[in-house]
């Protein structure tokens, strides 16, 4: 078997090797407009896409395991999240609800009323929600109600509404499309405020803690076991479509908001070091895609990694590498760390190609 061609992405500590042909789908299958990706505690990767098979599940080496959700999603399949207790949460934004599944694809419960939106901008859940995340400590479910509400809602594990915050606008605590959310071990809530070009940081009750500015249209969001936060930017607005270097990159931030790396070429594209937009993120381990180190030797250094238990923040024990998703056609990239974890990032391909190209990125 021919070894995959590698291309380096990034520099310094945040350097990755991009490996093609990672995902192995059944004959005739493809990823169509990948909109989300997440990883469970067994390092299995769940890819949400807008094709005939909405949730495609792969093992850490890219082998196909199963699919589910057929007939349950449409072209607005939008977000996916694996909770610390291994349930899969999804959102199809125009259905105005959140669904909770087993890892085998059995529907457990629905939060909200399907196809029954709350009044637009009225503040009540939900009107075109975008994503969700589950607290690693309490099991509370946080939902970004992004396109028709500019709100964040928190639910208890038994699906009782607890609190909501946010309103349309540009002032601190307001949102213009809250698009994604991450919860840390201290119940700190990180929200991508996309059209305000910032991330806002809150406590569990919506009290503003911090604002990270100068992030171009942040869409994708994930956090690794060390507390590093990965942010995927959307592509340029139409007026800037011919302006290289604006948007479509992957950023790495410290837990307190210091930018540590800015990854990706200035130009849009499908190449191994190029991205278009990104709408979601998640984490995985070195030999696959999840949050956990693997006992597999590193292709970058030849060293052997020991596999840690689930991280205290509920992430699946990974090192440094996120899953990112986007809108449009996509590439799926898996990032492997030389001495620790990896991740998968899914980014859109060219506008003329709505099917995904798959490649793996190994962190060097």
Q: For 38-72, write each residue's pLDDT tens digit.
A: 999 999 999 999 999 999 999 988 999 999 999 99
What CA–CA distance (Å, rounded) separates 97 from 111?
6
Query: Tell me, what CATH number does 118's domain have?
Result: 2.120.10.30
Residue 271 has pLDDT above 90, yes or no: no
Give the 3-state secondary structure of residue 142.
strand
What is the reported pLDDT for 334? 57
Give the model's confidence band at 183: pLDDT under 50 very low, under 70 low, under 90 confident, else very high: very high
Q: Does a structural domain hold residue 202? A: yes
Parallel/antiparallel/unpaired status of strands 331-336 and 357-363: parallel
Q: Does a structural domain hold residue 1? A: no
What is the reported pLDDT for 282? 54
Residue 303 has pLDDT above 60, yes or no: no
Give the model's confidence band at 237: pLDDT under 50 very low, under 70 low, under 90 confident, else very high: confident
What is the reported pLDDT for 277? 62
Q: Whole domain around residue 221: which residue ranges?
A: 6-363
Average pLDDT estimate for 139-157:
97
Give the model's confidence band at 267: pLDDT under 50 very low, under 70 low, under 90 confident, else very high: confident
Greater pLDDT, 13 or 79:
79
Only one residue has tokens 């792969």, namely 58
How far, CA to CA in Å, does 81 sit from each of 25, 45, 56, 90, 202? 21, 11, 13, 7, 20
What is the reported pLDDT for 5? 54
What is the reported pLDDT for 291? 24
What is the reported pLDDT for 288? 26
Residue 156 has pLDDT above 60, yes or no: yes
What is the reported pLDDT for 315? 34
Give the model's confidence band at 248: pLDDT under 50 very low, under 70 low, under 90 confident, else very high: confident
Q: Which two tokens stand for residue 107?
A: 């529907």
Q: Is 30 exposed, middle or buried (0-12, 13-18, 19+ CB in 10 A)?
A: middle
Residues with Cβ within 8 Å of 285's Cβ and at least 6 positions away in sequence, in order, are 43, 60, 291, 292, 293, 294, 307, 316, 317, 318, 319, 341, 342
Average pLDDT along the chain = 78
Number of domains the chain contains: 1
Give the 3-state secondary structure of residue 238.
helix
């Amino acid at each position: 078997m021919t070894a995959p061609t590698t291309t380096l992405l990034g520099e310094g500590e945040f350097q990755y090797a991009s490996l093609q042909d990672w995902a192995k789908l059944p004959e005739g299958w493809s990823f169509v407009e990948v909109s989300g990706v997440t990883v469970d505690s067994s390092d299995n990767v769940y890819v949400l896409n807008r094709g005939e098979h909405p949730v495609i599940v792969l093992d850490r080496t890219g082998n196909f395991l199963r699919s589910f959700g057929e007939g349950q999603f449409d072209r607005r399949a939008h977000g996916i999240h694996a909770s610390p207790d291994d349930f899969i949460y999804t959102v199809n934004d125009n259905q105005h609800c959140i669904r909770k599944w087993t890892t085998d694809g059995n529907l457990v419960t629905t939060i909200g009323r399907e196809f029954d939106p709350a009044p637009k901008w009225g503040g009540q859940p939900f009107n075109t929600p975008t994503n969700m995340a589950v607290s690693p400590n309490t099991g509370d479910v946080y939902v970004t109600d992004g396109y028709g509400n500019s709100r964040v809602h928190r639910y208890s594990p038994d699906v009782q509404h607890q609190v909501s915050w946010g309103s349309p606008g540009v002032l601190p605590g307001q949102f213009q499309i809250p698009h994604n959310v991450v919860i840390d071990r201290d119940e700190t809530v990180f929200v991508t405020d996309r059209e305000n070009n910032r991330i806002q940081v809150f406590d569990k009750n919506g009290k503003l803690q911090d604002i990270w500015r100068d992030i171009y249209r942040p869409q994708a969001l994930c956090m690794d076991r060390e507390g590093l936060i990965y942010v995927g930017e959307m592509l340029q607005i139409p007026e800037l479509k011919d302006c290289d270097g604006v948007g479509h990159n992957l950023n790495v931030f410290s837990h307190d908001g210091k930018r540590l790396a800015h990854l990706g070429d200035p130009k849009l594209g499908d190449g191994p070091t190029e991205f278009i937009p990104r709408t979601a993120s998640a984490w995985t381990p070195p030999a696959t895609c999840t949050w956990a180190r693997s006992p597999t030797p590193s292709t970058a250094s030849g060293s052997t990694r020991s596999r840690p238990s689930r991280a205290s923040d509920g992430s699946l024990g990974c090192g440094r590498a996120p899953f990112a998703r986007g809108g449009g056609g996509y590439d799926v990239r898996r990032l492997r760390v030389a001495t620790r974890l990896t991740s998968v990032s899914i980014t859109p391909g060219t506008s003329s190609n709505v099917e995904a190209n798959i490649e793996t990125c190994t962190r060097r």
